[in-house]
Structures are given as structure tokens and as C-alpha cells.
Structure 1
């Protein structure tokens, strides 16, 4: 199988609504550097087709007629530990990422079907999942605020903006472009944010994943 960092990114789609599945398949397959290798509508078909090595990333609807995408993702990830998982849902179920088993918890993404309709956001989330990063729905994040007394609440406004954009899948360069600051300034804010959140830089852990999950854990919907 090709390396997702250097070759075509192989994507599988598991979505039970035929029209939406067809739209996802066509959009992703027409994106340069991506190739859809499977598009199915049930857990049964996905389990049959998605053997280890078939895909780099699986885009999974949470609500499937014979099961759910989260349990399917856990099964697929345990068989292929480097498989990227991107969950889609018509409901705001982003906090379900916090309940994933520890052995498969890193590198899952979540997008809402109702808020993240941008092709750019979807493709960025797929690419991030392929390299083990966690991407959270940017539209949902925009409606969240830090919980009182949490470590996230101690971040400066700028650090919080950087954290939210990081969790949305933007690179440091992308964050800098969005905020109108240099990439070096972004890295300084990231380092300060990691220190406040107590996120270490152990090379065996992805600190961006840890930061995204901390943001999800310590924020709630704006009242």
C-alpha cells in the first residue's frame, strides 16, 4: 500500500444514504491525490470489504442501519492501527470521541453533516486523519466556550484562537494566515498553550491530538 504522505491517499466511504454516499465518493475521488477504493452502506459490507491495507482513511457515518460507525471504527482500527478514521453525523455527537477505548483513541476526526458542508473542510479532515491527527468540526467548535475553572479557560484569547484552529486541522502556517501573524508567532503560542494545558512533547504522543481532545473535554456549548 502506498505511503499516505507520498502517494495517492486511499479512502473508503461508509454511508447508508445512497445520494450522500455518491456525492462523497465523487467529490473525494475527483480531488487530486485522493482515490476512493470503496463506498458501501452497511457495517456488514464495510467489514467484508475493508481488510487491512485496503484504505488509508475510512470516512464513517455514525448512524448505520446494522450498527454504528464508532464501533465499526474501533474494529477497523484494531485490525489496522494506522487507519485514519473520520466520523460523520447528522447530529452533534462530537463528544463521543472522548469515550473511545484508550488503545484506539488517537487520530479520530469528527465532522457534522449539517454544519461542515465545505469540500475544503472535508478534504483537510481526510488528509489529517491519514497522518493520525484529530480534526474537530470547526463550525461546532465556534459555538463552544471554555468551562469555568478548566485549564483551557486559563489560555489567553490568542492562545484559545490558536487551539481552536489547530483542532480544526489547520497547520501552523494555515493558522498564521488565518490570524494574520507569522508562523513563528503561531509556534510560540502553541508552545505556551501546551505548557498551560500540561501537554508534554513525548515523541510517542501527538501533542496536537492531545490538545484537540483537551479542547473537546473542557469546553461546552455557548449558553
Structure 2
């Protein structure tokens, strides 16, 4: 433990103010990264969740130490951990091509709530380290994810064609190029505009095959309206 925080571990007016300000700081730092990427839950949302969780822990300690309500101090915090799922679920979206978005934002909100609980309990070191690691995961490891995607031999594509015949021809062209079709799913007609054919493809490429080149070739095929990797 860092001894610099020892004077602020007891419940006092000064320590309460420091904990709340620290909750605002940690939640805001995490929220800034989400705000920069224009995600559904941004700067203010993360601050409010982290601050609210911190107040929850402080309230539990106040009830035990000053109101002499002998109850489980972790009970209110447990409700925060479970209840934050409702807010996180609201950030998760499924697009028309069945691409899931918002999972990282939802996980960040949950992490911000846990950090707030730690701050309210006076566990400053854990809160600071957790905030730094959350930023590492959201900012640095994102680049690693894209590097892994670039080198992977399997990709998932969402495809829209003008008609089914175009899709059949594209399948033949891919097989001639040596691209294996691992999975093919034709989406429901309601998911696409009337008169178009939509499909979800899982393709296996050669390691030497350039993924960007494949996407360009598919886009240039006659009848292909759009293609997107997910």
C-alpha cells in the first residue's frame, strides 16, 4: 500500500471530498477515450457512474460507523455491480449486418462502477491501477487487435448484391481464386432493401493473400453494392 493515502482512509470530511473528486477524475479519464471515439456513453456518463458507485460505498460505511446499522457493508456495492448491467446493455447495439457494437463501452461502464466502489472504500491504489489498465486496454490494445485482424487468414464479410445471380457468380469467382467459403448465410429479405440479396460470409484466405486486395476485388465485381468486414 502507498502510505501517502493513509491519512485519507478514515471517513472524514476531507477524505470524502478527496474520494469524490478522485471518482470524478478516474471516471472522466476513462470517459474521455470513449468520448473521443464518439461512443454512446462518453465523458459525463462515466463520471456519473463512477461517482455514484463511490457514494454508494461511502454510504455503506457511514451507516455502519456512524448510524450503527450493523449490516453487510458490501451489500449496496453488490447491487451496483448487478444493476450497472442495465445501463451497459443499453450501449450494446446490433447493426443491420448483425455487427455487435458497444461491448467495449458497456465493459468500460462496468469497470468505472467497480473503480468507484474501490475509491469509496478508500482503496486508492487499486482504483488508480485499474484506471490505468482500463486506458491501456482501450487505447493501446486496440491497435494490437487490428494487427491481429490483419494477419488472420479468416474474415467475416457482410455483402449486398443487386440479385441472387450476382451472389452465385461471386461465390464461383472466390473458389477459383482459392478462397475457401467456410460459412454462408443468406439474411432475411426484411434486412435488405427490396430487390437486393444480402449475405454473411466467413472466408479462409491464404496467408499471402492481401485482405485489402480481396475487399477491393469484391467491391469491383459487377452487381456488388457494398461489402464490409465485421
Shorter-normalised TM-score: what interval?
Answer: under 0.3
Q: With structure 1 as the length reference, what TM-score do the two structures score?
A: 0.26
Larger Rg: 2
Q: With structure 2 as the length reference, what TM-score do the two structures score?
A: 0.25
Higher-RCO chain (CA-CA 8 Å, sequence separation at least 6): 2
Q: Which has the higher helix share?
A: 2
